[in-house]
Chains A and B, each alone.
Chain A
């Protein structure tokens, strides 16, 4: 048994034994937890990944005459100003209003690089803050405070992503290729901070951490904290951060985001903690979920361990699928080593948490009005073949009293659609078969999609019906604007 005070004493003396989480695995399997706990004082853990819930509180100081921000922008990225006169919060994922592929994350990065950014603001023009607008350039040196405060960082583990649909999806999990073309996953598994202290014995409110090269602190559990999918809320001084450990990025089709390097030292107080830092990738489970289904509760494709994900290939439906990490293991290792160096040099002392993080917490979904899905509104689709004659299509529409006929092949797979309007056109053009007049680019929906998505598609494309299909493009039914308005009573 050791105390944090004793470990800090060793750090001051320069006799502390620090190892990275990667090194610790072998030490524990060689010596056993008891002996490892005697030998090792601190294990450094690390992660380096895109963390969207990141931002910076900035105080700009007062202008003359003074202004109270109504709205403000840094390099055309709007910041939140619902605070005191010249305080603002710059969020990482806020896109620029004028520049493509640029956002709050990039402004943060430019500030850390020491560059000037353009501040533009409009004021309320009050008696105490009469100024109505201002335009100036500021760098990190010019502002009073720039404190990074991140509501949710350092996910313990995260669900891996794949895509069953036939379209390329651009998501916060990177680009997902169609038909299970790839898998992406986030988190650093066995070296990730929270996986090494899953009971939160040493990681808690007040724990001093490595945040992008600066000393930061944990200020609580993060939003959506739900162990074993635990998260952290952290803060640190932007002015002390190093550009090497932070990188602005942009996920095409999604938003800007920012890669952050976070390292957490775990004091090895006893054998129990030594044992928990010996955790291996094959013991850490997560699931692969299907982003092809645009719902909150995306279907689970399979369970998987971090060891399988890190191997670069996983099996889905008996086929090998290539895997991409989203977190940088190379940079996470750098974080662990840098933190180790700082502790060995006596530059970084450990702190005792003042409060423990919650061990169990349920992550509730957003409270919404009841969601109704396409399936409830679906009616039977009257289908037809490509080579059918126009007369037959016309007869079918009259007999079944419908205006839309999805065109299918022998397997029931959607090939196109004809409407009564197409039939009318066919007559004037003298077309003989359905094939000649059908629309081939059909707008469709899945049965499990919220009806709101179907409605917005109907409006967007100015059409009155959507075939409902499954992932193989087989026609399951049809939703029409008529049925929807009848059922919703609008």
Chain B
């Protein structure tokens, strides 16, 4: 599973990921790191069965933890052209009353078809 770790100005200076890895003996795979002097955001991948324990440890060490669910996301480049509507195999996209393109993320099977098709590059997997 993927976790988003948010560090504040204090925790960002400490080797917290290593500590958690040593303590649990679980290898933690860093997928993306965006770390500055005052705060940081790191996305890690961990084994599902250890998630509870790892989450608790990060919390204890002052790190905010969120689970990343890799469903499709959209930024405000979207102009509601509707091109993605007929591309998605599971009909995640739908034009609503207002003719806005609605997303029902729970149906997404992560096939990426829509990402390659969207002309404004509005679609992505948040990591």
Residues in chain A within 8 A of chain B (CB atoms)? 48-50, 101, 174-175, 177, 181-184, 247-252, 257, 259, 312, 321-331, 333
Q: Are B119 and A328 in contact (CB under 8 A)?
A: no
Say whether B83 faces chain A, with CB atoms less than 8 Å apart: yes
Q: Are B117 and A252 in contact (CB under 8 A)?
A: yes
Q: Are B87 and A312 in contact (CB under 8 A)?
A: no
Q: Are B117 and A327 in contact (CB under 8 A)?
A: no
Instruction: Return the chain A residue nearest B87 by Cβ.
Output: A175
Interface size classification for chain B: 20 to 34
Q: Are B87 and A177 in contact (CB under 8 A)?
A: yes
Partner among B82, B84, B86 whose Cβ is within 8 Å of the Cβ of A328: B82
Say whether B21 faces chain A, with CB atoms less than 8 Å apart: no
Instruction: List chain A residues, Cβ under 8 A from B100.
Output: 330
Say whether B79 faces chain A, with CB atoms less than 8 Å apart: yes
Q: Are A247 and B120 in contact (CB under 8 A)?
A: yes
Q: Can you report 5 residue pairs joining A to B where beta carbons are below 8 Å apart?
A: A184-B83, A251-B119, A252-B117, A259-B81, A330-B80
| B106–chain A nearest beta-carbon distance, Å | 20
Chain A facing B: main interface SS? strand
Instruction: List chain B residues, Cβ under 8 A from A251.
Output: 119
Say whether B46 faces chain A, with CB atoms less than 8 Å apart: no
Instruction: Return the chain B residue nearest A183 by Cβ.
Output: B86
Instruction: List chain B residues, Cβ under 8 A from A333.
Output: 98-99
A328 and B81 in contact, given A174-B119, A312-B95 (Cβ under 8 angstroms): yes
> Which chain B residues (83-107) contact chain A, with CB distance < 8 Å?
83-87, 95, 98-101
A328 and B79 in contact, given A174-B119, A175-B117 (Cβ under 8 angstroms): yes
Say whether B121 faces chain A, with CB atoms less than 8 Å apart: yes
Say whether B112 faces chain A, with CB atoms less than 8 Å apart: no
Instruction: List chain A residues, Cβ under 8 A from B82.
Output: 324-326, 328-329
**CA–CA, A183 to B83, complex, Å?**
10
Q: Are A175 and B99 in contact (CB under 8 A)?
A: no
Say whether B52 faces chain A, with CB atoms less than 8 Å apart: no
**CA–CA, A329 to B116, complex, Å?**
22
Say whether B77 faces chain A, with CB atoms less than 8 Å apart: yes
Instruction: List chain A residues, Cβ under 8 A from B116.
Output: 175, 252
**CA–CA, A50 to B83, complex, Å?**
12
**CA–CA, A28 to B100, complex, Å?**
26
Q: Are A324 and B86 in contact (CB under 8 A)?
A: yes
Q: Are A48 and B87 in contact (CB under 8 A)?
A: no
Instruction: List chain B residues, Cβ under 8 A from A101.
Output: 121
Q: Are A325 and B81 in contact (CB under 8 A)?
A: yes
Q: Are A323 and B86 in contact (CB under 8 A)?
A: yes
Instruction: List chain A residues, Cβ under 8 A from B98.
Output: 330, 333
Instruction: Return the chain A residue nearest B91 by Cβ.
Output: A322
Q: Are A322 and B119 in contact (CB under 8 A)?
A: no
